[in-house]
Structure 1
Amino acid sequence: MLDADYDECWLRYPRVDDADRRESYARRCLHVYAGETSPQHGAIRDELREGLEGILGREPHLWQHPPRSADGFLVVGQPDLMEVVADSVDAGMVRSLDDDGYHLRSTTWEGAEVTVVTAPTDRGLVYGTFHLLRLMATGEPIDDLDVVEEPRNAERLINQWDEPFRGTVERGYGGESIFKWEHLPDLRERYFDYARLLASVGINGVVLNDVNTTRPERPGDLAGTGEFEGVDLLDEQHLPKVAALAAVFRRYGIRTYLSVNYASPMLVGDLDTADPLDDAVAAWWKDKVAEVYDLIPDFGGFLVKADSEGQPGPYDYDRSHAEGANVLGRAFEPYDGRVFWRAFVYSDHDDRAVQAHAIFEPQDGDFHEKVTVQVKNGPIDFQPREPVSTLFGDMPETHLACELQITQEYTGQGVHVCSHVPLWEEFFAFDTHADGEGTPVTEAFAGTEGEGIAGVGNVGEDGNWFGNYLSGVNLYGFGRLAWDPTLDGESVTEEWVRLTFGDDPEVVETVTDILQDSWEATVDYETGGLGLIHMMYNGEARLENHYDPAPAEWPGYTGATEDGIGYDRSSSGSDYVDQFADPVAERYDDPETCPDKLLLFFHHLPWDHELDDGRTVVQTLYDNCFAGVEEVKRLREQWRSLEGSIDEQRYRHVAERFDEQVEQAERWRDTLVEYFHDYSGVADERGRVPLAN
């Protein structure tokens, strides 16, 4: 990646300036004894060659045997295959680790200082190698290592919403797709670098294409543009393209998945039905899965969006979601793969928040062992802030995965600086009380095969990958927190800053502070900070919707009337609160105990309703909208203070994005406060609203 025309992100591997630390690293890692009998070993050797040369300032020696002329060396391998490793660690403990786990240890062997990276599998060796390089790239000591790591989530997937053959990414803000499907199976170096980025933060699966596997024709399309779509990747003509990418990701221990269309037996096959209870449909899926595994022996499985936003599904045949998912699940019985079935299903219901639970909870225990129900973090749709989905903790007999959004669909897209790490940290800390106090939401999808976390990806062909250099923290933070949701979010952010911008204390502190404060600022100027949702433009007249403010488009979500604002989801309204366990339900049900940050999500309240601090609802909305803008201006000034301390290209790019963010935040503020004023008729106590013409 060092010679590429795109950014190295957090894999920069700069030379360590501290001479003593560099000498310590060189003594233990300048010589490398590592296997070369698998694709993963090749990836490890390549990464060590590049990483150590950057950190040490000289090319390392790579050996096929222990270098006895050296005072110390790094050894990477399994205890059953390398005598040095077996002599240096507790081999039984290593064998007992999770397949993705690893052990780092500093010790001596025949008088030499040895650093050991070992694991029960080659995938674990990949993760352990990246961990060691991360320590060295951030200047941490490695002369007394004794690290044992296992992921808390078995499945850690990226959902790449790629639209094959169109070259685009749905909800992607970092440019067109990096995958050139029309050229595959020919490979690009960028595919390997993307795999490196994912493996470096512990990702073990990637879904290559969009969950919307068919798209309507676009006005102006040239002939042939939409001839092939995501659904066609299952066709024998295109599966070799998938196999080529699978070989790239396999090298880094990452399994490949596909989004499939529920009607594939009709769209790819020649059946006239996709009824899950039809024997011919079951046979078609069984044969197709076998065909995929013939080409890709380590294939991960399918991701399915069904009966949602125009996509076909089992409802077309009056079947349940469990019946629909299970016909695919049974096709995976002979293989180490599975079906991820999205719970993002809604219709013309009075309250969208209640629907996923109403549909899926009654089917708990009905889903096949090879099916994982994939649930968004909240009940609506990746809003800047919303409560935790009630399906977590309420489907104990079903494999669940949590779906987060790495890309910034509702938080400024590729323009605004908005770290999702604090958002996810708040989500992971939520206590569902499903089994009494102390039942964090993470227990609903942690530890068991087939359960884990998926993230909707945010990379594209832009040189910086993400649209905004600072948006890289979201991919990095997702991977680190998917591996271990108990990690401190601020520490993860600081780690990313140090790997991305270097160790200058002022830069590290300033950029970390900017990112940590960015989410709450976005919540304030995009929602007013009291739990309102869906305040954005949703039309088709612009290249990308969900960016501009348009609260008037969503009266059913804001609940704005002359007498008040908010949606009544209390026990006297839609009763969404009843889907939570007590005491959470009781807390949310009463506006006096409901947290202010979710108050208007659960309650329709008079404009003059007083909060604990004595301010009214409408005054608080005004204040928060203005405060959000002022906070973004403050964050911009913090960034400007770093001019000269960050390279000109990245400094200027982010500075100009901040200028646009301030303008856009002011548009959001002005649109929202005028909307609140138009309904309430209440002027701002500080004279800011109504706005001056």
Structure 2
Amino acid sequence: MWTQCWLDYKEDKDRVAGFDKYFEGVYLPSEADVTAAFEEIKRAADIWFGKTVKTSEEESAGIVLKIISADELLGYVENEGKELQKKSSEDFDILRDSYRISRSEDKLVIEATAREGLIFGAFRLLELIRLGKMDEGRCVTEVPSNPIRMLDHWDNMDGSIERGYSGNSFFYEKNEIIIDDRTRDYARLLASMGINAVAINNVNVKDAATELIGDRYIAKVKELSDLFNSYGVKMYVCINFASPIDTPIGSADPLKPEVQEWWNKKAKEVYEKVPTLGGFLVKADSEGRPGPMTYGRTQADGANMLAKALAPFGATVIWRCFVYNCQQDWRDLTVDRAKAGYDYFSQLDGSFADNVILQIKNGPMDFQVREPVSPLFGGLSKTRQMLEVQIAQEYTGHQIDLCYLMPWFKEILSFDTYLPDVKDSTVAGIISGRADKALRGGMVAVTNTGNDENWTGNDLAAANLYGFGRLAWNTELSAEEIVAEWTALTYPMLKDEDKKVICELELGSWRTYENYTSPLGIGWMVTPHDHYGPSVEGYEYDRWGTYHRADWQGIGVERGPEGTGYALQYRSPNKENFSKPETTPEELLLFFHKTPYKHVLKSGKAVIQHIYDTHFEGYEEALAMQKKWQSLEGKVPARVFDNVSERFERQVRNAREWCDIVNSYFFRRCGIPDEKGRKIY
């Protein structure tokens, strides 16, 4: 079996006292199928009160689900003093997910403009009851920040997961699609955190996955898509852009009429059988994958060909910007992988079809524990964009080490791109459409789930899953609010002081992980291929541009005007600030500048002493986290305690390795001793 994560209602009875009177009957709208909402209400009533809730024909029922007009919903928003730019019919993708919840003496009411809003609203109502935040007379109106709030699965059809740390896939086994009770529970989890899109297969599409849009699997794809759709979630399929190569056409050239016709016909076949499908997610022209560039075409040529094929069905092409053939010679100091994405895509700004969204990684490299925000955010002013982050902890501890990523994501979202002539030039403003509705896209995370009993490998890693969903729904939420909510819903049996322990562990974990791994934004230093544990020079002489350039005098990559020029890709004043060491944020200093070990930071420490101190401190912090967790023995469920305890044992070993290897490496490089005389090997 598997856990219910934050949807386990069994420990809630103390919190739901006084609500049983509402759970007598549920009025459902005739114009929308909200079975998923009704079933969740029934589930909660059965566990909380031992009641079997039935539908009612009367709006006087204890719980009412009601369809209202967009104007009525916007009126509620304005009455509650919330700021929301005027929406038009083309922005209905936001409004259809929105809802209003209210409680009176004898009624709980959920109002929305569409069935999706009623479904999301029902899950949120139950959460607010459990959190003790649904007092009589309270009204809550929610309009999501982002139109698309998505999880990407890197699941392979043999059951393996690329960069998966939570077991195998629960979608696939031995090249067959699995649809069972766990699939439905997963859809419930998505709806409960406001996720409205999911891509079900690895972006590196090969072998059997190519046939997901063919006759072999299409019936199961429809069944799975319909299941997700019933919970307000649009399903996407990752497709192989090169598929026509394996037909008599023998080409995937997007400007070749035969290739265009093949995709037009394929889209028609797919949507005749799977009309609920959200669209296609595409990765091409990277890591050896064929794509438009194979034929001398642009990414816009490829994306627009697919967009035209999908347009009659109201479907979307999501095109990943992890596209470059930037294999470097480590001897060449002028070539820079970090520049590749902007150099390529900025020249295509405005050339993509309206139903194409560019999926842009948060940084120019690859989901490091810290890196600058991609200059494509703010660099593109005429193209729809999605922010891509990774909650699968590829470079942040493999869900062995605790690393709660919402503080990091908050920094990314709040980064000001200085895009001119817009209301909100932060990353959050751009992807949400607040900056310009023509740019609206959303947020997507490479997910951290698998078929482990607890879904996420480490029980505490579920905070990243829940946290991403809540943050994508409302980018104004704080990391503290989110983790407090997750803790209260997941561990309602704990006393407040014990919930505080979990929150403190989560909230300090990202900084701790950064402390004992790569310093001041330089990134990498990980074991090649696996990406867990230290290998300071593991990627130093590789072809992927993953360098730290450490020598006996200093460390860092010079990306200012006198180096690779990467800093010049940003708009002013970021461009000027990143171009000089003295104005570069110190947490990114080594990413942007080759810096002497003796350079003095604002703390008064030299760079080398900062490296020594943070690594010793990171290891000590990992030990302290382990000790703090031990205080919860007998308070959290035994299975959870044992799971997390074992992970902390491994994290402490990992932190020790990072500390000793990194410090020893740099001491041997520069010969400068630790001012505090600690043991360095």
Is 1:261 the counterpart of 2:240 in the alignment?
yes
Q: Name the SS of the counterpart of 1:303 in structure 2.
A: strand
The aligned residue for residue 417 of structure 2 is: 432
Q: Structure 1's 473 and 522: CA in aligned 2 closer, same or farther, altered over 3 A? A: same
Residue type of the alignment partner of 1:331: A
Asked if the contact 1:184/1:244 (under 8 Å) is kept, the reply is no
Q: How many residues align?
A: 649
Distance 1:187 1:338, change over 3 A: same
Name whichever of 587-596 and 397-406 sits farther off. Answer: 587-596
Please state if 1:526 is matched with 2:517.
yes
State the Cα deviation string for residues 269-324 of structure 1 (Å, max 9, x = none): 43210001100011111111111111111211111111111111111101111112
Q: Distance in 2 between matches of 1:236 and 1:560?
A: 54
SS in 2 for 1:10: helix
Give me the whole-angstrom Cα distance separating, in 2, the residues matched to 1:229 and 1:537. 30
- 5 Å-filtered alignment, 1:379-458, equals 379-435=364-420, 439-447=425-433, 448=437, 451-458=441-448
Residue aligning to 1:624 = 614
Residue 370 in structure 1 maps to residue 362 in structure 2: no
1:29 aligns with 2:18: no
Tell me whether 1:333 sits opposite 2:311 in the alignment.
Answer: yes
Q: Secondary structure at the match of 2:317?
A: strand
Tell me the equivalent position of 1:221. Answer: none
Instruction: Work out the CA distance in 2 between the residues paired with 1:549 and 1:126.
Output: 45
Deviation string 1:53-85 (CA, Å, 9 cap, x unpaired) is 33x3321432232286xxx711113248xxxxx
**Which letter maps to 2:36?**
A
Pairwise CA RMSD? 2.3
Q: 1:22 to 1:203 in 2, by over 3 A?
A: closer
Distance 1:387 1:333, change over 3 A: same
Look up the match of 2:39: 46
Question: Aligned pair in 2 of structure 1 residues 67, 299: CA closer, same or farther (>3 Å)?
Answer: closer
* TM-score (norm: length of structure 2): 0.91
> What SS class does the counterpart of residue 294 from structure 1 fall into?
helix
Find the counterpart in structure 1 of residue 661 from structure 2.
Answer: 671
Give 1:589's match in structure 2, choosing from 567, 571, 579.
Answer: 579
Contact in 1 for aligned 2:619/2:659 (Cα 8 Å): yes
Secondary structure of the 1:229 match is: helix
Contact between 1:34 and 1:62, CA under 8 Å: does it hold in 2?
A: no
SS at structure 2 position matched to 1:162? coil
1:511 — aligned with what? Answer: 502
1:354 and 2:347 are equivalent in the alignment: no
CA distance in 1, matches of 2:287, 2:178: 34
Identical counterparts, % of pairs:
37
Corresponding residue number in structure 1 for 2:331: none
Larger mean Cα displacement after TM superposition, 301-310 or 239-248: 239-248
In the alignment, is residue 488 of structure 1 matched against residue 481 of structure 2?
no
Distance 1:234 1:266 in 2: 15
Determine the structure 2 residue equivalent to 1:230.
Answer: 209
Instruction: Give 1:297's aligned amino acid.
Output: P
Q: Are 1:99 and 2:92 counterparts?
A: no
Give SS of 1:118's match.
Answer: strand
Deviation at 1:471, TM superposition (A): 0.5
Deviation at 1:22, TM superposition (A): 3.6
Give, as a single letter, the amino acid of the residue that structure 2 aligns with 1:323.
Answer: D
Q: Which residue of 1 aligns with 2:57?
A: 65
Corresponding residue to 1:140 among 121, 130, 133: 133
What is residue 75 of structure 1 aligned with on the other side?
64
Residues 1:614 and 1:187: Cα distance change in structure 2 (over 3 Å): closer
Q: TM-score of the superposition, structure 1-length normalised?
A: 0.90
- Which residue of the other structure, out of 110, 133, 156, is the alignment partner of 1:163? 156
Instruction: Tell me which residue corresponds to 1:224.
Output: none
Shift in CA distance, 577/186, structure 1 to aligned 2, threshold 3 Å: closer
Gaps of 5+ in 2: 80-86, 329-334, 541-545
For 1:458 and 1:624, locate their aligned partners in 2 and report how far apart those are by CA, in whole Å.
Answer: 28
The residue aligned with 2:231 is 252
SS of residue in 2 equivalent to 1:455: strand
> Hey, what's the Cα distance between the residues in 2 that align with 1:435 and 1:658?
46
Q: Distance in 1 between matches of 2:7 and 2:469?
A: 14
Aligned-pair distance for 1:118?
Answer: 1.4
Question: Shift in Å at residue 31 of structure 1?
Answer: 3.3
Query: Aligned-pair distance for 1:689?
Result: 4.9
**1:385 Cα deviation from its structure 2 partner:** 0.5
Of residues 252, 261, 274, the one that matches 1:283 is 261
Per the alignment, residue 8 of structure 2 pairs with 12
Q: Which moved more, 1:407-416 or 1:608-617?
A: 608-617
Indicate conservation of the 8 Å contact 1:610/1:617, yes or no: yes
Any conservation in 2 of the 1:298–1:336 contact (CA below 8 Å)? no
Shift of 1:341: 0.7
Q: Which amino acid aligns with 1:33?
A: Y
- Structure 2 distance, partners of 1:632, 1:547, is 16
2:166 counterpart residue number:
174
The one-letter code matched in structure 1 to 2:67 is Q
Residue 320 (structure 1) aligned with residue 298 (structure 2): yes
What is the Cα deviation at residue 525 of structure 1?
0.8
Contact 2:375 2:569 in 1 (8 A): yes
Q: Is 1:190 matched with 2:182?
A: yes
Cα distance in 1 for residues equivalent to 2:506 and 2:388? 22
Deviation at 1:92, TM superposition (A): 13
Residue in 2 that maps onto 1:219: none
> 1:17 Cα deviation (Å)?
4.8
1: CA distance between counterparts of 2:180 and 2:107?
36
Q: Superposition pairs for residues 120-131 of structure 1, below 5 Å?
A: 120-131=113-124
Residues 687 and 74 of structure 1, relative CA distance in 2, 3 Å threshold: same
In structure 2, what is the equivalent of residue 687 of structure 1? 677
Please say if residues 35 and 64 of structure 1, whose CA atoms lie closer than 8 Å, have aligned partners that are also in contact.
no
Task: Tell me which residue corresponds to 2:533.
Answer: 548
Contact (CA 8 Å) 1:24, 1:143: kept in 2 or not? Answer: no
2: distance between equivalents of 1:312 and 1:595? 38
